[in-house]
Chain A
Amino acid sequence: MSDCLPGVLGALSTLDSITLMYPFFYRPMFEVTEDGWHSFLPEQEFELYSSATGEWRLSYVNKEFAVCPSYPPIVIVPKSIDDEALRKVATFRHGGRFPVLSYYHQKNGMVIMRSGQPLTGTNGRRCKEDEKLINATLRVGKRGYVIDTRSLNVAQQARAKGGGFEQEAHYPQWRRIHKSIERYHILQESLIKLVEACNDQTHNMDRWLSKLEASNWLTHIKEILTTACLAAQCIDREGASVLIHGTEGTDSTLQVTSLAQIILEPRSRTIRGFEALIEREWLQAGHPFQQRCAQSAYCNTKQKWEAPVFLLFLDCVWQILRQFPCSFEFNENFLIMLFEHAYASQFGTFLGNSESERCKLKLQQKTMSLWSWVNQPSELSKYTNPLFEANNLVIWPSVAPQSLPLWEGIFLRWNRSSKYLDEAYEEMVNIIEYNKELQAKVNILRRQLAELETEDGMQESP
């Protein structure tokens, strides 16, 4: 029996059919007060913007997932562009991913859009509707930036396969910036190397440092954060709108758009806001979780589509959280929890590769949403940052290597005891709680004293 156990475990951890997975059999033992499947509806999210600007509209052009299989049924597009034009643009963008609104910066009305690469090919194909669409997002006389998450070289090579990038001649109001962010097996190998290095406690100092370096993990962190800072800088400092894409627009693109929002938008640093961000920029935006998070760091067989794209994003958020420990409503445990559920979960939230797949799997009917569980008050208390204090400013992280440590809470979690650190954290929470208690008590006593004093006064004056 011991011989077949590994085989059984292997088979159980790599089920062929999604419908055989745990979420389909999981029966919640808690009372659902708020159904997480309806917590973040696109219409509600759009309301936040529509109150500030009339330049955008909801489009239902993808209702049947026919225009873009990886997009959700509802997307936000410029008001002046009709659905017919969107259909045309979709044929010009990789995977049908026409440019849609990702973020609206209320402070100055600048926006982040995202899309797939334009299918210019070698002969420089163009699409008037595409040009019109993205120009529609610019204010008069303003220029915008296209941030291509590939190096110029890679982007040029993509033309041979029918892809490409926006030519200056056809997009004169846009300036293109290439920032290389790695994808797929390079990231996966990076994760495997890092985990390997962390798991071997016998490494001497030189070997540990050289393995840490060779994993390149922190290099990827720096690249992603730098690009996100660049996008945020375009918006907030340059007052220019941004279009972000790589090849498909489902990986590095989403890392950049979501991190830029963490930097720019205070709401995305709250628990609800961050959940909404994941819902919008990762789940609805069509990050293929099923493919990317199949096996994590320990897969013997090379999974072609496996890549820790989402984990890198969470690591980047942790890095910013570390640098601004009071500006986030959630704590490190919240990020660790999300990492775990993205890879293995009893909830259906991260199943499937896109909204259309989730629809077909009838996840809303057959499985429980992670948010239904997490947003219960008893759960939330575990993930709440006691130091949180709303910070309405843009937060600019440092991306110098000296400022980007290894995320021990994830990578050394099982390799060293965190007992003393956890106790220190508890003590910190105690001090904060005690402070609140004392303040409340002082307030009551002051009021009491004031009342006594007025009573005295009243008694004394007839």
Chain B
Amino acid sequence: LTHIQNTELETYFTSNKSLTGTLYLTATHLLFIDSHQKETWILHHHIASVEKLALTTSGCPLVIQCKNFRIVHFIVPRERDCHDIYNSLLQLSKQAKYEDLYAFSYNPKQNDSERLQGWQLIDLAEEYKRMGVPNSHWELSDANREYKICETYPRELYVPWTTSKPIIVGSSKFRSKGRFPVLSYYHKDKKAAICRCSQPLSGFSARCMEDEHLLQAISKANPVNRYMYVVDTRPKLNAMANRAAGKGYENEDNYSSIRFQFVGIENIHVMRSSLQKLLEVNSTKGLSVNDFYSGLESSGWLRHIKAVMDAAIFLAKAIMVENASVLVHCSDGWDRTSQVCSLGSLLLDSYYRTIKGFMVLIEKDWISFGHKFSERCGHLDGDPKEVSPVFTQFLECVWHLTEQFPQAFEFNEAFLLQIHEHIHSCQFGNFLGNCQKEREELKLREKTYSLWPFLLEDQKKYLNPLYSSKSHRFIVLEPNTVSFSFKFWRNMYHQFDRTLHPRQSVFNIIMNMNEQNKQLEKDIKDLESKIKQRKNKQTDDILTKELLHSVHPESPTFKTSLCFKEQTLLPVNDSLRTIEGSSPADNRYSEYAEEFSKSEPAVVSLEYGVARMTC
């Protein structure tokens, strides 16, 4: 533990003012404590980049950009200290081995059985049962039980009932990384399925009888509609370019009863640089409206979000309107395919819009099907070209849905932000590694904890007070995807820039009011039963009095206490606005929630609020 005194923290959007305090470097966090004892914790794993700027008169500036989009500027008085801390952070933020990640040392004081229970909270076999499989059309295949067919798939896979092992083996040899078509979501009522795979190794003319057979089996597994859609989530040009490398897409002529469709979502590299551009725009000081919108446009970010959403809607419509099954793939089938399959299922099935259901959805379509979290989030010091905000985009799509359908989700925005926080925190084992096989080899279930039970325990924070679970209108969501429906997600990309947000949160007030209402209902019950008791007692008393004519005198202290009852009747509405906020320092999100709910206005920002008074 090292510490440097008299460091200044420049709050980026607040003002020209800065806070002076002490900077501590712990094994897991960078900690800044200002003169008011307010703590700013930054997890080493959250650090995306550290930059040392040229020495100024006040000291050496250190800029830290985080994966949760926090940006902090420190000014360290001595250049040597700055250099030391810079080097330490570079090392600490990029670990070479999984075993050095926070999750392996994080200890929430649970015993082994509690830990195991935590991991068992989400049970995918249970989830497939909920969907209605296995059934007469779909069965559990044990082909991949030892990860022999596909290393990046889970052990348990669901395939059409008639699929024999040779068919699976043959098809997997014809698909990138062996990712052959399997079930992702089954729609019980429509008997239609969302399936997923990777691109076929078709090149310009190659065919595979087993693969053709498997696709036919999938369409036959749908008794209502005999044709199925094959959705290639890539832009057509990219898919065609892949043909030259012996990969590509399905030829409609070779597969009976398929309808082929491109949906044009860009690849991970385009997405990475898109986010990069967006962040550059956001971090500009004194940003003008025009620069903001032209930056937003040229980053292409919202265009990509819309593309993912449109693809998911395509899936939902195919199933709901045409009763057709859909097979989705991209190149390897673990990025865009995960986005589209999970979002499509979420549109179709209200279960995934509950807190537990959303966890299940992430476990199923992202974790178990081998979305490469560790590479995409850059958990380890690896290839920066593998990093890409694919999962962040998924969360953003869900956020857009919560904006359009404020009553359709059991969870709130804070839940999405907290999950985003933890895909990068490496504090829990869920998102470590790139596929299930790797996770088993890392013995994550024995050595780390699962995030989900901790989120469930804190459920209150993540509940949407406006959620209406009973309403059947929300069975299938049909979002509007006209361009103006997509907005910049300020609470994600400026989560820590307090002054940019509304100073009063309607959401928090309603959330607390909902909680209070529950308490009040309870109070009313209590009071009513007490009153009833009293009344009964009175009648009893009268009876006994008549019988005995004497009773024990009641203690006078009890009587006086009654007189004060009136004054402490109830907290008035105001108190709702101040209850929230307190939480352990370990929880990074709490800081945000607390800041969000402040009802008193902050000082106007000189940088943003008001132009400097120059003549």
Task: List residues of chain A with CB under 8 Å of any chain B CB.
Answer: 145, 175-179, 198, 201, 203-210, 212-213, 216, 218-219, 221-222, 226, 229-230, 233-234, 237, 322-327, 387, 389, 391, 393-406, 408, 412, 415-417, 420-421, 423-424, 427-428, 431-432, 434-435, 438-439, 441-443, 445-450, 452-457, 459-461
A204 touches B502 (CB 8 A): no
B24 at the interface (CB under 8 A from A): no
Contact size range, B: 35 or more
CB distance from B294 to the nearest CB of A (A): 6
- B608 touches which one: A394, A399, A424, A428 (CB < 8 A)? A399
User: Can you name 16 extra interface pairs (CB under 8 A) apart from A209-B296, A402-B287?
Assistant: A177-B615, A198-B484, A205-B297, A229-B604, A229-B610, A323-B502, A323-B503, A324-B504, A398-B605, A398-B608, A400-B608, A405-B487, A415-B484, A427-B407, A438-B520, A446-B569
- Residue-by-residue, is B542-576 near A (CB-CB < 8 Å gives 1, otherwise 0)? 00010000010110001100100110011011100
A276 to B530, CA, bound (A): 51
* A322: B residues at CB distance < 8 A: 502
Q: How far is the CA of A237 from the CA of B604 in the complex (A)?
A: 10
> Contacts of A454 on B, CB cut-off 8 Å?
559, 562
Question: Is B293 in contact with chain A by the CB < 8 A criterion?
Answer: yes
| Contact of A412 (CB < 8 Å), options: B484, B565, B608, B614 | B484
* Interfacial residues of chain B within 572-615, with CB under 8 A of chain A in the complex: 572-574, 577, 599-605, 608-611, 613-615
CA–CA, A417 and B601, complex, Å? 33
Known contacts being A176-B615, A396-B603, A403-B490, is A453 close to B521, with CB within 8 Å?
no
**Interchain CA distance A456-B488 in the complex, whole Å:** 63
Instruction: Answer yes or no: B1 CB below 8 A from chain A CBs.
Output: no
- Minimal beta-carbon separation of A447 from chain B (angstroms): 7
For A179, give its contact among B282, B509, B566, B611 (CB under 8 Å).
Answer: B611
B521–A207 touching, CB < 8 Å: no
B41, CB-defined interface residue at 8 Å: no
CA of A327 to CA of B391, assembled, Å? 37
Closest to B502 in A: A323
- Cross-interface CB contact of A432 among B488, B513, B528, cutoff 8 Å: B513
Q: Is the CB of B486 within 8 A of A395?
A: no
Q: How far is the CA of A233 from the CA of B604 in the complex (A)?
A: 8
A233, B610: Cβ atoms closer than 8 Å: yes
B566 touching A460 by the CB < 8 A rule? no
Stretch of B58-66, B234-242, B449-457, B531-539 with 4 or more beta carbons under 8 angstroms from chain A: B531-539
- Known A-B contacts A176-B615, A416-B482, A457-B558; the reply to A431 vs B517 at CB < 8 A is yes
* Given contact pairs A456-B541, A460-B554, A205 touches B486 in the complex (Cβ within 8 A): yes
Shortest distance between the CB of A366 and any CB in chain B (Å): 42
Inside 8 A of A326's CB, which chain B residues have their CB? 504, 506, 509, 577, 599
Closest B residue to A208 using CB positions: B483
Which residue of chain B has the shortest Cβ distance to A213 in the bound complex?
Answer: B293
**Residue pair B524, A438 in contact (C-beta under 8 Å):** yes
Are A446 and B565 in contact (CB-based, < 8 A)? yes
Inter-chain contact A206/B303, CB cutoff 8 Å: yes
CA A398 to CA B290, docked complex, whole Å: 17
Q: What distance in Å separates the Cβ of B197 from its nearest Cβ neighbour in chain A?
A: 29
Residues of B contacting A442 with CB < 8 Å? 520, 523-524, 527, 569-570
A213 to B614, CA, bound (A): 28
Q: Smallest CB–CB gap between A273 and chain B, Å?
A: 18
Give every chain B residue within 8 A of A387 (Cβ-Cβ): 506, 509
A-B contact pairs, 23 of them (CB 8 A): A177-B615, A204-B483, A209-B296, A209-B302, A226-B610, A323-B502, A324-B503, A325-B504, A326-B506, A391-B599, A396-B602, A396-B609, A398-B501, A398-B608, A402-B292, A416-B484, A424-B466, A428-B506, A431-B465, A445-B531, A446-B527, A453-B562, A459-B545
A462 to B, closest residue via Cβ? B553
Contact A401 B530 (CB under 8 A): no
Distance in Å: Cβ of B564 to nearest Cβ of chain A: 10
Nearest CB on A from B559, distance (A): 5
Give every chain B residue within 8 A of A219 (Cβ-Cβ): 288-290
Task: Name B472-510 residues within 8 Å CB distance of A.
Answer: 480, 482-488, 490, 494, 499-506, 509-510
Residue on A nearest B559 in the bound complex, by CB: A457
- Chain B residues whose CB sits within 8 angstroms of the CB of A237 once the complex forms: 604
* Residues of chain A contacted by B574 (CB below 8 angstroms): 389
Contact between A397 and B609, CB atoms less than 8 A apart? yes
In the bound complex, do residue B13 and residue A400 qualify as a contact, i.e. CB atoms below 8 Å apart?
yes
Q: Which B400-442 residues have C-beta < 8 A from chain A?
A: 404-408
Q: Is the CB of B609 within 8 A of A398?
A: yes
CB-CB under 8 A from B499, the residues of chain A are 398, 400
| B residues less than 8 Å from A198 (CB atoms) | 484
Q: Which of B313-353 contact A (CB under 8 A)?
A: none
A426 to B486, CA, bound (A): 24
Given contacts A431-B513, A438-B521, contact A416 B485 (CB under 8 A): yes
Taking a contact as CB atoms under 8 Å apart, the answer to whether A431 and B510 are in contact is yes
Complex: A19 Cα to B183 Cα, angstroms = 72
Task: Tell whether A226 pairs with B611 under 8 Å between CB atoms, given A326-B504, A403-B490, A443-B569.
Answer: yes
Is B117's beta carbon under 8 Å from chain A? no
Given the interface pairs A177-B615, A233-B604, A453-B562, the reply to whether A402 lies near B288 with Cβ below 8 Å is no
CA distance A204 to B484 in the complex (A): 9
Residues on A with beta carbons closer than 8 Å to the beta carbon of B523 = 442
Cβ of B88 under 8 Å from chain A: no
Complex Cα spacing A74 to B13, Å = 45
Q: State which of B302, B406, B494, B613 has its C-beta within 8 Å of the C-beta of A424.
A: B406
User: Do A427 and B613 have beta carbons less than 8 Å apart?
Assistant: no
Instruction: Give the top 9 A-B pairs by smallest Cβ distance, nearest first.
Output: A213-B293, A208-B483, A401-B292, A424-B406, A396-B604, A438-B520, A209-B297, A445-B527, A205-B303
C-alpha spacing A15/B465, complex, angstroms: 50
Q: Which residue of B lies closest to A416 (CB)?
A: B480
B254 on interface, CB distance cutoff 8 Å: no
Residue of A nearest to B486 (CB): A205
The interface residues of chain B lying within 8 Å CB-to-CB of A212 are 293
Which residues of chain B are within 8 angstroms of A412 by Cβ–Cβ distance?
A: 484
On whether the beta carbons of A431 and B514 are closer than 8 Å, the reply is yes
Provided the pairs A207-B483, A233-B610, A402-B292 are in contact, do residues A421 and B510 lie with their beta carbons within 8 angstroms? no
Selected from B502, B524, B553, the residue in CB contact (under 8 A) with A441 is: B524
Query: Which of B494, B513, B554 lies in contact with A402, CB distance below 8 A?
Result: B494
- A contact residues around B614 at 8 Å (CB): 177
Within the complex, the shortest CB–CB distance from A416 to chain B, in Å, comes to 6
Name the residue of chain A whose CB is nearest to the CB of B406: A424
Q: How far is the CA of A457 from the CA of B560 in the complex (A)?
A: 10
Inter-chain CA distance A389–B408, complex, in Å, is 29
By the criterion CB–CB under 8 Å, are A201 and B482 in contact?
yes
B107 contacts partner chain A, Cβ-Cβ < 8 Å: no
Q: Which of B292, B465, B566 is most buried by chain A, counting CB atoms within 10 A of its CB?
A: B292
Check if A324 sits within 8 Å of B502, measured CB to CB: yes
Task: Tell me, rounded to whole Å, the shortest Cβ–Cβ distance linking A387 to chain B.
Answer: 6
Known: A233-B610, A327-B504. A435 touches B527 (CB 8 A): no
Fill in one digit per residue for B3-18: 1 if any A CB lies within 8 Å of its CB, else 0. 0000000000100000
Report B-chain residues with C-beta under 8 Å of the C-beta of A230. 610-611, 613
Cα A397 to Cα B603 with chains together (Å): 9
A198 to chain B, nearest CB (A): 6
B26 CB–A CB distance under 8 Å:
no
Q: Are A461 and B517 in contact (CB under 8 A)?
A: no
Among A218, A229, A431, max chain B CB count under 10 A is at A431
The answer on a CB contact under 8 Å between A439 and B520 is yes
Q: Determine if A393 and B517 form an interchain contact, defined as CB atoms under 8 angstroms apart.
A: no
Which chain B residue has the least Cβ–Cβ distance from A221?
B289
- Chain A residue at smallest Cβ distance from B405: A420
CA distance A436 to B300 in the complex (A): 47
Contact status of A324 and B605, CB under 8 A, knowing A177-B615, A442-B570? no
Are A401 and B297 neighbours in the complex by a CB distance under 8 Å?
no
- CA gap between A452 and B532 in the complex, in Å: 10
In the complex, A437 Cα to B81 Cα: how many Å? 60
**Smallest distance from the beta carbon of B71 to chain A beta carbons, Å?**
14
Q: From residue A374, how far is it (CB to closest CB) to chain B in Å?
A: 24
Question: Which A residues touch B135, using CB under 8 A?
Answer: none
